Structures are given as structure tokens and as C-alpha cells.
Amino acid sequence: MNIYVIRNNHRFGPYDEKTLLSYVNNGQVLKQDKAIADSDSFERTVGFYLKRANLKSHVQNKGNVLAQLSAIGSELIFPKAKLFSKQFLSDQRFLILALVGLLPMIIMTIPLGGFFIFYEVSLYFSIIWGLFFYACFKTHQVKLKTTLNVFFLTQLCVFVAWDLLGLPKVNPFYAFTGVHFPFNLLGYVFGVGLTEEFGKMIPLLIILRKAKEPLIPQTMVFYGLMAGISFGVFEGVQYQMTVNAEQTYDVSFFLNIARLTSLPFLHACWCGIAGYFLSFAHLYPKYRRGLYVLAISIPAIVHGLYDSFADLGAISLVMVFLGLMLLMMYLKQSVDYQSKLRQ
């Protein structure tokens, strides 16, 4: 019987069963390799044809264990020359794995407590989100220095505006957050949503003003995501120090993990939308007023709707999904926006 071995979509052969058996015994062909006979219409495996011919394979060991290890060689077992080479130490996958895997261990060795330990844990989750967003939304314009500036500048702006200046107290709409639906929408949209989204926009406006080249929408979406993550860290720590601390141990533990992972994502999606429209406002300044309005109003509305229905799990999840859908749809429609705004 003529049998062909298939590797990487290429056929080799034909071989009869005994020839195949010799190749398997020599380790040149694997029983799991795909194969097909002239008489068959679909692929099988080499092992299938050997079994059908009542042939049993036996791969001979090439020497004892020490001989095999010696054949492999010390440079492959412990490649010391390459292990400490600049090329390997700058490998992106290695650095990401090291950062994600080792950072919690580093945090455990730092003798801090209270606010700082919560902040460290929040930073860890923000790094994971940041790496994920970088993999999904990076562009040739994205720079590490700018990313770090956006992240920490957002936290500085929020700290000054919230903790030092008491910005939420200045906005009268915050008073409506304590009333019943639908009037609480005024508080959560024009109070919480508008104020928080404006705070996250400030670093993006600074980045755009200082940019040395026009920043495309996806670049600004990425920086918006970073600003949102940063705000989520700030808010997550605030929750841990206040609301979560009043709960029982198990509830507090769950809320800490849930909020540290979800809040950066929520704020990132909303601020990513803001970054999208801010980019177009600077690319097409004739429409900047309308685009600025969209940059602040759409995130504020989605944010406010989410907060308004936060106690109704299913509806709040719909609001989260809506924000994510809008962000992704806007990115897909970038060409359509450009065509429209060029007119």
C-alpha cells in the first residue's frame, strides 16, 4: 500500500508499511504524523496504518541518560551566554512575564501598610490591564514615557482636584445622587459622570497640546485607556479605605478584588471614548466644539447610567457592555469619521 506522510501541508512518500515502521523506529517519523493512503479519501495517522498492518513500533534509545544529556549539550541545557545577553534581557515577552509574575512577590517584601499596601496592589492590577490594552491598541505612536506621564499625571490631577480642591463638592448636581430614580440620573450624569470624565480628560488635553505630531484616534484611545486605569486605581483605593473596610472580612476581600479589577476597566473604556473624540477634535479643528462636547458627554452619560443602575446588576452590566461596544464601534468607524470631517 502506498502511504504518504503529511507535514506542514506537504506530502512525502509514498512509503509502504514496513518502510514507515523503520522510519518510526529511527525517530524520523512519528506515529502521530498525519498520513493518507492511495485508497483513502481523508487523512489518518501513521500509527493507524501501522496498527492496521499489525506492525508494532519500538523506538530505540540512543544511549543511556548521561549519553543523551551529553548529546544535548550544556549550552542548550543552561545557555549562559544567551541567558544574560542584551537581546534576551530586552525580550518583550520575558519582561512582561517577569513583571506580572514577580511584582506581587516584590510587593510582599515591602514593609508598608494601610493606604500604601492598597495602592501597591491597585498598581499591580493596573499594570496587568495596561499590558493587555497595549497588546490590543498599541500604535507606532505609543511611547512608554508618554504612557507613564498620562498615568501618573491623571493621579496627580485627581488628587489635587478631589482631595485638595474638593471638586465634587463644587458641583451642585452631586446632591441628586441621593434621591430616587429617575432624578438620581441628574446627579450621576451631570455630577459624578461629568466631573470624573472631565478630570480624566485633563492629561489627554495636555498630551495633545504638547504632541509633536498629529495623534491618530487609536493612539489617543490607548492614552485614554491609561488615564482611565489610573483613575480606577485612585477610586479603587478610596473604596478599600472606606466602603470595603466597613464590611465583614469575606465580603471586604471579595469587594477589594472585584473593584481593583473592574474599576480600572470601566474607567478605561469610558476615557478611551473621550480620547477618540479628542483626537478628531485636534485632527479636524473646524469641528472641535462639537467633538469636545462628544468627548465629555458620551462618557459622562454612559458612566452616569452605570452608576444610576449600579444596584441592579443586570442593567449595570448592560451599561458596561454598551460602553465597550461604543468604544470598539467608534474605532471601526474611524475611516467614516475622517471622510465625514474632511468635507
The tens digit of pLDDT for each residue in 199-212 reads 999 999 999 999 88
Residues 308 and 206 in one domain: yes
Residues 128 and 26 in one domain: no
The pTM score is 0.75
Q: Minimum mean pLDDT among 107-116, 166-175, 177-186, 205-214: which range?
A: 107-116
- The pLDDT of 124-139, averaged and rounded, is 87
Per the domain annotation, does 79 fall within a domain?
no
Per the domain annotation, does 103 fall within a domain?
yes
Per the domain annotation, does 20 fall within a domain?
yes
Digit-coded pLDDT (tens) for 76-93? 888 888 888 888 888 878
| Domains of the chain: total | 2
Per the domain annotation, does 76 fall within a domain?
no
Handedness of CA 320, 321, 322, 324 (dihedral sign): positive
Residues 125 and 208 in one domain: yes
Residues 36 and 99 in one domain: no
Average pLDDT score, the chain: 87
Domain end call among 42, 59, 76: 59
Residues 126 and 275 in one domain: yes
Residues 272 and 330 in one domain: yes
Q: Is the pLDDT of residue 97 over 90?
A: no
- The pLDDT of 179-196, averaged and rounded, is 90
Any idea which residue has 499625571 for its cell? 153
- Give the pLDDT score at 244: 64
Per the domain annotation, does 74 fall within a domain?
no
More confident residue, 110 or 216: 216
Q: State the CATH number of the domain containing residue 25.
A: 3.30.1490
pLDDT-based confidence at residue 293 (cuts at 50, 70, 90): very high
Residues 255 and 312 in one domain: yes
- Taking CA 96 as the corner, what is the angle to CA 93 and CA 97, rounded to the nearest 5 degrees? 85
Q: Is the peptide bond before 182 cis (omega within 30 degrees of 0)?
A: yes
pLDDT-based confidence at residue 161 (cuts at 50, 70, 90): confident
Q: Is the pLDDT of residue 108 over 80?
A: no
Per the domain annotation, does 25 fall within a domain?
yes
- Give the pLDDT score at 301: 95
Q: Minimum mean pLDDT among 41-50, 156-165, 246-255: which range?
A: 246-255
Handedness of CA 199, 202, 204, 207 (dihedral sign): negative
Q: What percent of the chain has pLDDT over 90?
A: 40
Which of 134-140's residues contact partners 24+ apart within 8 Å by CB, and which partners? 134/222, 137/218, 137/221, 137/222, 137/225, 137/272, 138/222, 139/216, 139/218, 139/219, 139/222
Q: Minimum mean pLDDT among 141-145, 235-239, 284-288: which range?
A: 235-239
Digit-coded pLDDT (tens) for 269-278? 999 999 999 9
Residues 114 and 167 in one domain: yes
First to last CA, the chain: 70
Per the domain annotation, does 193 fall within a domain?
yes
Domain end call among 44, 59, 74: 59
- The pLDDT of 5-10, averaged and rounded, is 90
More confident residue, 7 or 114: 7
Domain end call among 59, 76, 96: 59
Residues 202 and 272 in one domain: yes
pLDDT-based confidence at residue 214 (cuts at 50, 70, 90): very high
- Give the pLDDT score at 20: 92
Residues 122 and 52 in one domain: no
- The pLDDT of 305-325, averaged and rounded, is 86
Residues 23 and 90 in one domain: no
- The pLDDT of 153-158, averaged and rounded, is 87
Asked if residue 38 lies in contact with residue 14, where contact means CB atoms within 8 angstroms, the answer is: yes
Residues 106 and 245 in one domain: yes
Domain of 28 in residue numbering reads as: 1-59
Q: Is the pLDDT of residue 243 over 80?
A: no
How far is 138 from 35, CA to CA, in rounded Å? 42
- Give the pLDDT score at 300: 95
Per the domain annotation, does 71 fall within a domain?
no
- The pLDDT of 254-273, averaged and rounded, is 84
